Amino acid sequence: MVRSVILTSAAFVLPALVKAQTYNMVKEYAGDSFFNDWNFYNNDDDLTQGNVFFVSAKEADSDHLAYINDAGNAIMKVDNTTTVTVGSVRNSVRIATKDQFTVGSMWITDMVHVPYGCSVWPAFWSSAQDWPSGGEIDTFEGVNQVTMNQMALHTASGCTHSANAIQTSKLINSTDCSTAADNNDGCVVTTPTTSSYGEGFAAAGGGMFVTEFATTGISIWFFNRSSIPSALSGNASTVDTSVLGTPTANYSSSTCDVSQFFEPQSLVFDITLCGEFAGNQDIFEETCSGTCYDDFVLGSGSNYATAYFEVQYVRVYSQAGEVTVISGSPRASRAHPAAVLALAIGAVAALFML
Ligand SMILES: *[C@@H]1O[C@H](CO)[C@@H](O)[C@H](O)[C@H]1NC(C)=O
Ligand SMILES: *[C@@H]1O[C@H](CO)[C@@H](O)[C@H](O)[C@H]1NC(C)=O
Ligand SMILES: *[C@@H]1O[C@H](CO)[C@@H](O)[C@H](O)[C@H]1NC(C)=O
Ligand SMILES: *[C@@H]1O[C@H](CO)[C@@H](O)[C@H](O)[C@H]1NC(C)=O
Ligand SMILES: *[C@@H]1O[C@H](CO)[C@@H](O)[C@H](O)[C@H]1NC(C)=O
C-alpha cells in the first residue's frame, strides 16, 4: 500500500514526525443522530454464542434498547423488562458503523456508563470485513464482575505484543495476537485501574478511550473523567497524540506490522450474555456464582439494571492530509465474522473476544 511506503520512509528519515501525529476529526456520532450511521445486527449472536438476540434498529427503538436519553447521550442496553423462559434468549444490541476506517485513523469514545454484572459481556471494538486476516482491535471489554477493562488484538498468525512496548500498563495477560494461538485469547493488556470498568467506571463519572490505528502501531489510552487531558475536552476537532502521554497499551509495528495484519475497520458496540467467555464456567466463577444462563439470563431481567452503555460520543479522526474513511457499504452489517472463535474456553483464564 502506498501509505505504508510513505510512512516507512518518513519514520526512517524523520522519526520526530512520527511521534507527534496530528489528527483531524472526520466523523462524529453524537446527540440525536448518534444511531444514524450504524447497522443493527438483527440476528442471533453468531460470534460468541451468547444467549441473546441482537435486535433490529426498529425494535431497538420501540423496545427502548437503543435511544437518546435526556442528557443527549446514546443508551444501548440489554432488555431488562421481559421474562425469559427456558430455551429462549434475551434481547440486546449490536451495532457496527456503516463506514470503515483505514490505517491512519484514530477513534475516541467518551462514555459515562458501561454494562456490567454477572453474565454480562460488553465490548467496544472494531473488525475488518475479512476476519481474522483483516484484524480486530478490542478497545473496551470485560465480563461478569471483573473490575478492570481489557484491551486486545486478534489477528492472523505472526503478530505479537512487543516486549519493548512503551505503555503504562504492566498487566500483560498474553502476547500472541493470533486467533490460532491459546484458544484465540488474543494479545491482552489489562487497563490498570478499577475506574476503567463496571461500578468503578460509573463512580468515576466514566471516561474516555482513545484508539490510534497507525502504521507505526496500535495504541490505546484510557482516561477516567478527572484525568482527561485538556486537548481532548471540548470539541477537540484536532488532536496531536504527542500530548496524550504514554498509551495504556501499545502494540508496536515492530512485532505486528499494522499494514500487513490490518484492513479497514468498522467500529462495533455489543452487549452479549454468557457465551464463550462470560459463560465459561471457570471464568464465570472467578467473579460470580451459580450458572450463567440458568441463574441470570432466565427470569425477570432484574439482573440487568446496570447492563447498559451510556455514550456521549464516538469521534473518528484521520491523520492530517489523509483520507481514511470508506463510506458506508451495504455489506457492513454482515461484516463481523469476527469473533467467531472468540473462545475463552477454559484454559488460561483467558480472554476473549470478538
Ligand atoms: C510504542 O512502543 C514502541 C516501542 O516498542 C515505541 O517505538 C512507540 O513510540 C510507542 N508508541 C507510542 C504511541 O508511545
Ligand atoms: C483516575 O485516574 C487517575 C490517573 O490515573 C487516578 O490517579 C485516579 O485515582 C483515578 N480516579 C479514580 C476514581 O479511580
Ligand atoms: C462545539 O461544537 C458545537 C457544534 O458544532 C458548537 O455549537 C459549540 O459552540 C462548540 N464548542 C466549542 C467549545 O467550540
Ligand atoms: C432496567 O434498567 C434500567 C437502567 O437501564 C433501570 O433504570 C430500571 O430500573 C430497570 N428496570 C427493572 C425492572 O429492573
Ligand atoms: C489479566 O491480568 C490481570 C492482572 O493479573 C488480572 O487481574 C486479570 O484478571 C487478567 N485477565 C484475564 C482475562 O485473565
Single out the catalytic residue among 59, 141, 212, 263: 141
The pLDDT-based confidence of 280 (bands split at 50, 70, 90) is very high
Please report which confidence band the pLDDT of residue 11 belongs to, taking 50, 70 and 90 as the band edges.
very low
234 CA closest ligand 3 atom index:
13
Alpha-carbon distance values, 218 to 151, 249, 270 (Å): 11, 8, 21
DSSP H or E stretch at residue 39: strand 38-40
Residue 328: band (very low, low, confident or very high) from pLDDT cuts 50, 70, 90: confident
For 8-351, CATH number out of 2.60.120.200, 2.40.40.20, 3.40.640.10, 3.40.50.2020 equals 2.60.120.200
The residue whose CB lies within 8 Å of the most ligand 5 atoms, and thus the one to mutate among 138, 145, 172, 173, is: 173
The pLDDT score that the predictor gives to residue 3 is 23
230 lines ligand 3 (CB under 6 A): no
The Cα 104–Cα 326 span in angstroms is 12
Ligand 4 geometric centre to CA of 296 (Å): 15
Percent of the chain predicted with pLDDT > 90: 84
204 in contact with ligand 2, CB cutoff 6 A: yes
Paired with 322 in beta bridges are none
Alpha helices, DSSP H, located in 150-302: 198-203, 258-261, 275-278, 281-287, 292
Q: How confident is the model at residue 223 (pLDDT cuts 50, 70, 90)?
A: very high
93-118 pLDDT, tens digit each: 999 999 999 999 999 999 999 999 99
Residue in 191, 195, 223, 228 to alter for ligand 2 test, most ligand atoms within 8 A of Cβ: 195
Evaluate if residue 5 carries a pLDDT over 70. Answer: no
Per the listing, cell 489477528 goes with 155
Distance (angstroms) between ligand 1 centre and the Cα of 252 equals: 6
* Cα(129) to centroid(ligand 5), Å: 29
Q: Give the SS3 label for residue 312.
A: strand
| pLDDT above 50 for 345 | no
SS3 77: strand
Pairing of strands 249-252, 217-224: antiparallel
Ligand 4 contacts (CB < 6 A) are 77, 80-81, 302, 305, 308
| Ligand 3 near 235 CB (within 6 A) | yes
Sign, CA dihedral 194-196-198-202, equals positive
Give yes or no for residue 205 having a pLDDT over 90: yes
Could you confirm whether 199 is annotated as catalytic?
Answer: no
pTM here is 0.89
Average pLDDT of the residues in 10-30: 68
C-alpha distances in Å from residue 130, one per residue of 271, 292, 302, 334: 22, 31, 38, 10
What pLDDT digit, counting tens, does each position of 112-123 carry? 999 999 999 999
What percentage of the chain exceeds 70 in pLDDT? 87
Atom of ligand 5 nearest to the CA of 190: 1
Residue 351 beta carbon below 6 angstroms from any ligand 5 atom: yes
Distance CA 280, CA 282 (A): 6
Q: Which ligand sits nearest to residue 352's alpha carbon?
A: 5
pLDDT in tens, 287-323: 999 999 999 999 999 999 999 999 999 999 999 989 9
**What ranges do the domains of the chain cover?**
8-351
Helix (H, G, I), strand (E, B) or coil at 265: strand
Per-residue model confidence (pLDDT) at position 183 = 87
More confidently predicted of 12 and 47: 47
- The single residue listed with the C-alpha cell 477516567 is 224
Instruction: For residue 316, give every residue at least 6 positions away whose Cβ sits within 8 Å of its Cβ, in sequence order, or none.
Output: 25, 26, 27, 28, 99, 101, 105, 106, 107, 267, 325
Split at pLDDT 50, 70, 90, the class of 12 is very low
DSSP 172-214: B---B-BTTSGGG--EEEE-S-GGGSHHHHHHTT-EEEEEEEE
Q: In terms of Cα–Cα distance, which of 45, 107, 141 is closest to 241?
A: 107
Categorize the per-residue pLDDT at 329 as very low, low, confident or very high, splitting at 50, 70 and 90. low
| Mean pLDDT of the region 163-169 | 95
Number of H helices, E strands in the chain: 8, 21
Look at 339 and 214; give whichever has higher pLDDT.
Answer: 214
| Mean pLDDT, residues 131-147 | 97
